[in-house]
Amino acid sequence: MARARSRIAGVISVFGELLITAGLVLGLFVLYSLWWTNVLADREASKQGDEVRGNWANSGPGALDTKDGIGFLHVPAMDNGEVLVKRGTGTKALNAGIAGYYTDPVKSALPWDKQGNFSLAAHRDGHGAKFHNIHKLKNGDSIVFETKDLWYVYKVYAALPETSKYDVGVLNPIPKGSGKTKPGRYITLTTCTPVYTSKHRYVVWGQLERTEKVDGRRTPPPELL
């Protein structure tokens, strides 16, 4: 009897140690996913952003759509600093701590196009989490896009807190569900929701209010001061 109890106690002890180990591994995984990937992504995004600004300083006038990045997104209400914007919304691209503009299933317009929907995606958690605070955006809030020569100032006019990840209509030139019925110059921000999942999509829409020329000191528009 004593020997059987000893064996049971041994099994329980080993099982307990395995649970502790599993808990530590899970904790380290969560730490890596929600913190360390942010550190790495922010470091990479900063490096890429410096390269873009360096290219701007050494090139002539004109906004160019290149693989290196077309400009920087500034959203004060999200408190996320400047966000480099590049072509494409694939996981590998977004994991670098940037926002990407859609090339499919609906091709994004670009800010300098005469009309269309400049549609963007970024991670909400991990890998820079550039759109983590998207839920803080309210109607009337500013979204500013910076290129080499111009500031594009948009104002938020609508949001969709939850929709299917297959709802591509939100990316249309006239965004479906946004309340707009005529062509214009729109911006759309999309990311995953609920937080820590990728089950649905959170969408925010803005409309271009004005543009401002970039001066020699790159003085930001009032919305960013």
List the catalytic residues.
192
Contact 73, 135 (CB under 8 A): no
Cα distance between residue 64 and residue 66, in whole Å? 6
Rounded alpha-carbon distances, angstroms, from residue 72 to 24, 68, 145, 184:
39, 12, 6, 21
Q: Which residues contact 81 (CB under 8 A, 6 or more apart)?
A: none
Alpha helices in 58-123 (DSSP H): 91-94
Strand ranges (E), the chain = 71-74, 82-87, 99-101, 116-121, 142-146, 150-164, 185-193, 200-213
Residue 12 DSSP SS3 = helix
> What is d(CA 174, CA 96) in angstroms, rounded to the nearest whole number?
29
- For 81, 218, 219, the CA distances from 95, given in Å and listed in that order, are 17, 28, 30
